[in-house]
Amino acid sequence: MARLLILGPSYRRNTSPEPIPAIECYDGLFYRIIKNSMGKVREKGIDVVIVTEDLEVASPETKILCKPPAGEKWKTMPPTIKDSEKIEKLQSQILEIVKNREYEEVFIALNKHYQQLLPDLTSHTKKVIAGFKGLGAKAKSIKRMAIWVKIWFLIIRSL
């Protein structure tokens, strides 16, 4: 029962001048939730991919350069590049990830600007979770997913 979490760039960022892991570069609410339970998330078959503001697909360990955010806040933060080749590359990378592993759920935690750039994943997975009203609802769902992982870990551990 594999799951995929697709995170977008957060407005809050690490200010390191050196390339650092993508999971450490971004410091938004979703990233904090995932960082706190990353070990358990991996144990339960939840894959995490990060879409950067340059429309690159990165694993949490991929070292990237942290740039200052564009836009005034997370909601309005558009991709810095709207190149059709970059968008096609992003779509093909996401499709390749989803096709290479059979995911039961794909959870998309991206703002509307980034969500519009993703390919339609409904035919490649049982469930796509993407439509939320506001940051709080997304955070609550990510926390539920992290809590679900912790509960299952405790249950399996007790057997």
Assess whether pLDDT exceeds 80 at residue 106: yes
Q: Which domain holds residue 106?
A: 2-158
Find out whether 66 and 28 touch, Cβ atoms under 8 Å: no
| Total-model pTM | 0.77
CATH number at residue 121: 3.40.50
More confident: 151 or 59: 59
Count structural domains, the chain.
1
pLDDT classification of 74: cutoffs 50, 70, 90: low
Find out whether 5 and 31 touch, Cβ atoms under 8 Å: no
Q: Rg (Cα) of the chain, in Å, rounded?
A: 15
